[in-house]
């Protein structure tokens, strides 16, 4: 049976994975936003505002919609990965409480 220090170490490693995923996600999204800005000048108004505009489906080019879908996929993929790691952290915390 692992001791609390080993579990704490595993939890810290998992948090490092989450932070790494945050960094990778940010890098991917920034690259995708830069690509998006080339085809969609309105993106300069702000990403959140523009996403609301897209979701209302008013005058958006096919290329812009494709990039929008890719951005959504990136966000979903990283969220799923982070949720899986968080579940492992939660399980380790429960195990630590039983020790």
Of the CA atoms within 13 Å of residue 91, those in its CB half-sphere come to: 8
Per-residue pLDDT at 16 exceeds 80:
yes
What's residue 36's pLDDT? Answer: 81
Of the candidates 69, 86, 92, the one whose C-alpha atom is nearest the C-alpha of residue 1 is 92
Cβ neighbours for 32, distance < 8 A, ≥ 6 positions apart: 67, 70, 71, 74
DSSP-derived letter for residue 41 is: G
pLDDT > 90? residue 35: no
Quote the pLDDT of residue 1: 58
Residue 7 · residue 89 · CB < 8 Å = no
Q: 37-66: per-residue pLDDT in tens?
A: 787 766 666 667 667 666 666 667 778 888
Domain locations in the chain? 4-98
């Amino acid at each position: 049976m692992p001791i609390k220090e080993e579990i704490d170490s595993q939890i810290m490693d998992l948090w490092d994975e989450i932070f790494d995923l945050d960094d990778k996600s940010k890098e991917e999204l920034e690259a995708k936003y830069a690509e998006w800005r080339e085809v969609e000048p309105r993106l300069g108004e702000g990403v959140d505002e523009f996403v609301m505009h897209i979701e209302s489906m008013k005058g958006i080019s096919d290329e812009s919609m494709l990039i929008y879908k890719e951005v959504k996929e990136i966000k979903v993929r990283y969220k799923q990965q982070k949720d899986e790691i968080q579940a492992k952290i939660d399980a380790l915390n429960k195990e630590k409480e039983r020790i």
